[in-house]
Each structure stands twice: as structure tokens, then as C-alpha cells.
């Protein structure tokens, strides 16, 4: 170590960096008092409603419909009528035109959507602005490009649409998950009934405005809001030909049971407990950034989050030291502040789940570290957390926490890293940090994960298929593969 490096190593942690508030203006978003269901291109007055809030302040934002079975049936009928009355038959280049329009409008209105996404979901504005919105628009652009090239994507297989797709999405990336679902479904010529998550319906409801602006024919996309009961109604509806679900493994299994033998196509994108694996030859500072991005991005509400850190034993201490130092610089707080790194936990229910699992970690014998940070009094908050001294059998090493909580384990050899990484019922993603290309390939061949990132983490691109193994689900979203679940190939 050089003298300079030694000095840097000992440099005091900047514990009291103060930042002036940098709030994003909220007035770009105009909220209505009440939202109905978007059915057949019109707003349907809801029979029942509930209040959606901002998780950062618990402030009520709007009244939103809790769709009844009749309202779900009306949405499915509207989707069927739109499918039969032209959407499945129009020239594919026309379908592409609508998708391009939607993509462009999302770009034009991206600030408005980003603010709304942070307001209703609690995620930092810099993430909704720089990740959720650009990627959502990119998905529509990408699938717009495929709409009139399906014959080339699936040569000699006569690709045809399935009919009505029922789509149920979670609360961690509300608009992005909507884009992942709607863009390929429409590109393939299907119509859609989509339900956003109970806690984050507002960006999907604002998206209905985009559909109108794009002059999408009525009924091609229908949005109904509500809790799990609404999702269950969509799943069992006879008028739905395909179900696409992203959410918890438990609900995914229930949906699979419900659909068994029905002939409906199904894709499930479920949970994960990914290993982020750091070898001793990795660029450590870069890897530490990757660890931070892997688990604290979006408060750890990420199905592919790098929630298990596997560190090679010889570099355990420097990695943990660097990580703890970096944690002290994370700014937790107002999601609408442009300096915020970690926002609010999405709901009270999710906060309780995180608290419970963290308590189990401490009880089972792991050592907890949280950087000093003052959490706001109102709203749902959890400090970034690291557990060391974790055994593989602990709940925090086995179960999906879906919060800003990292469990650190060690390994000695690449074989042991693979074994530990694969020791999970899930198989969605993994990360490998090493300077050796051959080792990356060796690891990627053996990791039972749908996505393996090398010297990076949580990178997404619409052209790249995403999906899981084992209890992380089946089917792929993104890329040419993402079209397949929405097509009948003969």
C-alpha cells in the first residue's frame, strides 16, 4: 500500500455532510379527487373506493376504485370487443405506430410521471426520473419495432395473437412493470386488462391519459384498480386467454393452481434471493458501488436485488469496511428531494415484514450494522442495514426481505461460491465481480439464475430477456423472448 493509499484508508468518514434541500416541484402533477376504472376508453364510476396515500408522509392522495367482479367483467368484455373489432386484424405497422406514440408521449411527460411515481410509491426522484421513466419509454420503443416484424422473429411459425391478456403487476416499479406487460402484449396484437398494485395505482391511471392522447382504439387497454381480490377476478375470468403476473411467490403459486388445466397461457415473475459474488481480484471500490446499487436501489424493493453478498474470505475485512463507510454517505429521506438515495418503504405492511425479518436475523445470531441516520417521523422508513456473521440457515439468508437489508456470507473457492449462491429456492439473478473473463463465464454456466450480471448489477435493457428459474417463476420478459408468451405459434 502506498503512503497516499494509507492516508486515504484512514481518512475520517464525512459523517456530517449537509446538503441543501433540492426538492423537485410537485405541482407538475394534477391529481383528481377520485379515479374510476378505465374501461373501453372511458372512465367507469367505481362502485367501491379506497384511499391511496404517499408512503413518505401518509398523506392521502386520491380515492381509487376497488373493482368488483362486475367491473372486472366489464373490462374483460371491453378488451374482447376491441380484440374482435379490429385490433387483432389491423396492419402490424399501425400497431407499431400507436406504440411509438405512447413511447414518445411518455418521454414528453416523463417529469410528471416521475414525480407521481415517487409521490405514490416512495422511491427517490432520481431513480424514477433516471431509471423508471427512461426504461418505460424504451420498452414501448423497443416493442414498437417488433410489431411488424413478428414473421421474422418467429420464422415459419405463423405468429398470431392470443386474445385478451390479464396482467397483474406489483408496487415496486409500477409504471415500468406496466410497460413490461403492455408493450409486448400490444405489439403481438392482443388486448389487455391490467391491474396495478393496491398501493401504487396512480401512474397506471395517469397512463390512461397517455392512451387517449395516443388515440389508441377504445378497449385495447383497460385498467382496473383494487386489491388482490381484483387480481383474482382477472385470473379466473373466462374471457382472459393469458395471464401475466409479477409479484410474490405465494400468490404466483395460487395463480398457477387456479389456472391448471384451463388452457390459459401463464407467465410468472416472482421473488428472488440473489447472490452478489465478490472475488478477491475484483476492483473493490467498483464492487462496493455495485453492492450498494444491488441492494439499496429502490429501498431493496427489487425482485432481483443482490440481497446475499458472498465475499471471498481473503477480502472480507476490506470489503465490509468500505461498505460500512459508503453506507454512512447514503442519504435517506424525502423521495422528492433530488439528493435522496434511499426513499420510503412502500407500505406499512411491507415495513412490518422487513422489521420482522430483521428482528429474526438479530435473534438467530447475526450482527447488525446500520449507519447513523435520522429517519422522518411520519411515513414508513427503514435505515439501510447490513448483517454480518450470517449462517446460510438464517431466515435473512433464505427469505426474500424486499427491503434495504443485506446479508453477508463468505466463501473460499469458486465451487463453494456457486454452491452457496444456488442454495436457495429462487433463481432470478446473480452478480459476479472479478477481473477474469474466464471466471465470469465459468460462474455464469453454473449459477442457476435467469440473469447473471458481470462487474455490474441491476442493469436493465428492453432487448435483454429477464425471468427466473425454480420459485422465481417462468417465462421471459424483454427481448424477442418477451413476445413469445403473447403469441400462438403454429
H-helix or E-strand containing 420?
helix 414-422
Residue with cell 402484449: 185
Q: How far is CA 241 from CA 79, 167, 217, 396, 483, in A?
A: 11, 11, 20, 38, 15
Nearer Cβ to ligand NDP (132/269):
269
Please state, in angstroms and rounded to a whole number, the distance separating the CA atoms of residues 325 and 369: 11
9 classed as catalytic: no
269 classed as catalytic: yes
Q: Which stretch binds ligand NDP (CB under 6 A): 49-57, 59-67, 78-86, 230-238?
A: 230-238
Q: Is 232 in the site for ligand NDP (CB under 6 A)?
A: yes
Grid coordinates belonging to 44: 367507469
Residue with cell 393452481: 257
Grid coordinates belonging to 418: 456457486
Please state, in angstroms and rounded to a whole number, the distance separating the CA atoms of residues 225 and 417: 43
Q: Is 203 in the site for ligand NDP (CB under 6 A)?
A: no
CB 193 within 8 A of CB 79: yes
Identified catalytic residue from 71, 269, 400, 471: 269
Please state the closest distance from residue 196 (CB atom) to ligand NDP, in A: 7
Q: What is the DSSP string of 355-413?
A: HHHHHHHHHHTPEEE----PPPSSS-----EEEES--TTSHHHHS---SSEEEEEEESS
Please state the closest distance from residue 336 (CB atom) to ligand NDP, in A: 23
Q: Is 254 in the site for ligand NDP (CB under 6 A)?
A: yes
Please state the closest distance from residue 269 (CB atom) to ligand NDP, in A: 6
Q: Is 227 in the site for ligand NDP (CB under 6 A)?
A: yes
Q: Is 231 in the site for ligand NDP (CB under 6 A)?
A: yes
**By CB under 6 A, what part of segment 299-328 binds ligand NDP?**
303
Q: Which stretch binds ligand NDP (CB under 6 A): 101-109, 136-144, 215-223, 231-239?
A: 231-239
Nearer Cβ to ligand NDP (433/466):
466
> What size, in residues, is the chain?
490
Please state the closest distance from residue 276 (CB atom) to ligand NDP, in A: 17
Site string for ligand NDP, 326-355 (x = CB under 6 A): ------------------------x--x--
Please state, in angstroms and rounded to a whole number, the distance separating the CA atoms of residues 250 and 256: 10
Chain contacts with ligand NDP (rule: CB under 6 A): 168-172, 195, 197-198, 227-228, 231-232, 235, 246-248, 251, 254-255, 269-271, 303, 350, 353, 400, 402
Amino acid at each position: 500500500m502506498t503512503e497516499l493509499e494509507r492516508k486515504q484508508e484512514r481518512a475520517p468518514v464525512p459523517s456530517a455532510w449537509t446538503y441543501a434541500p433540492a426538492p423537485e416541484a410537485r405541482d407538475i402533477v394534477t391529481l383528481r379527487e377520485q379515479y374510476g376504472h378505465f374501461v373501453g376508453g372511458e372512465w367507469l364510476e367505481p362502485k367501491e373506493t379506497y384511499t391511496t396515500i404517499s408512503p413518505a408522509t401518509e398523506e392521502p392522495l386520491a380515492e381509487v376504485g376497488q373493482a368488483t367482479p362486475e367491473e372486472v367483467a366489464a373490462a374483460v368484455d371491453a378488451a374482447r370487443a376491441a380484440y374482435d373489432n379490429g385490433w387483432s386484424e389491423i396492419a402490424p405497422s399501425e400497431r407499431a405506430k400507436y406504440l411509438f406514440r405512447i413511447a414518445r408521449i411518455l418521454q414528453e411527460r416523463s417529469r410528471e410521471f416521475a414525480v407521481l411515481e415517487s409521490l405514490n410509491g416512495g422511491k427517490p426522484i432520481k431513480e424514477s426520473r433516471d431509471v423508471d421513466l427512461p426504461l418505460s419509454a424504451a420498452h414501448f420503443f423497443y416493442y414498437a419495432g417488433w410489431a411488424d416484424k413478428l414473421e421474422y422473429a418467429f420464422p415459419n411459425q405463423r405468429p398470431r395473437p392470443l386474445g385478451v391478456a390479464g396482467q397483474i403487476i406489483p408496487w415496486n416499479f409500477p409504471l415500468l412493470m406496466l410497460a413490461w406487460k403492455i408493450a409486448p402484449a400490444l405489439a403481438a396484437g392482443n388486448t389487455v386488462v391490467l391491474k396495478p398494485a393496491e398501493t401504487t395505482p396512480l401512474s397506471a391511471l395517469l397512463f390512461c391519459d397517455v392512451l387517449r392522447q395516443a388515440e389508441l382504439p377504445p378497449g385495447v387497454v383497460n385498467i382496473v384498480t383494487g386489491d388482490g381480490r381484483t387480481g383474482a377476478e382477472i385470473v379466473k375470468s373466462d374471457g382472459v386467454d393469458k395471464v401475466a403476473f409479477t409479484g410474490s411467490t405465494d400468490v404466483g403459486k395460487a395463480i398457477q393452481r387456479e389456472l391448471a388445466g384451463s388452457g390459459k397461457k401463464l407467465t410468472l415473475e416472482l421473488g428472488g434471493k440473489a447472490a452478489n459474488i465478490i472475488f478477491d481480484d475484483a476492483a473493490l471500490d467498483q464492487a462496493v458501488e455495485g453492492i450498494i446499487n444491488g441492494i439499496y436501489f429502490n429501498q431493496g424493493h427489487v425482485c432481483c436485488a443482490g440481497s446475499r453478498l458472498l465475499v471471498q474470505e481473503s477480502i472480507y475485512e476490506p470489503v465490509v469496511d468500505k461498505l460500512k463507510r459508503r453506507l454512512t454517505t447514503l442519504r435517506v429521506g424525502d423521495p422528492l428531494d433530488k439528493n435522496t438515495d434511499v426513499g420510503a418503504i412502500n407500505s406499512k405492511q411491507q415495513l412490518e415484514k422487513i422489521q420482522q425479518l430483521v428482528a429474526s436475523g438479530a435473534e438467530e445470531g447475526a450482527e447488525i450494522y446500520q449507519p447513523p441516520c435520522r429517519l422522518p417521523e411520519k411515513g414508513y422508513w427503514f435505515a439501510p442495514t447490513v448483517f454480518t456473521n450470517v449462517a446460510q440457515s438464517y431466515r435473512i439468508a433464505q427469505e426474500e426481505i424486499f427491503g434495504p437489508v443485506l446479508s453477508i456470507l463468505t466463501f473460499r473457492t469458486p465451487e463453494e461460491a456457486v454452491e452457496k449462491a444456488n442454495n436457495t429456492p429462487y433463481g432470478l439473478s446473480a452478480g459476479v465481480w472479478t477481473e477474469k473473463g474466464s471466471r465470469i463465464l465459468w460462474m455464469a454456466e453454473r449459477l442457476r439464475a435467469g440473469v447473471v450480471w458481470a462487474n455490474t448489477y441491476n442493469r436493465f435493457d428492453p432487448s435483454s430477456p429477464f425471468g427466473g428459474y425454480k420459485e422465481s417463476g417462468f417465462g421471459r420478459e424483454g427481448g424477442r423472448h418477451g413476445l413469445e408468451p403473447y403469441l400462438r405459434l403454429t
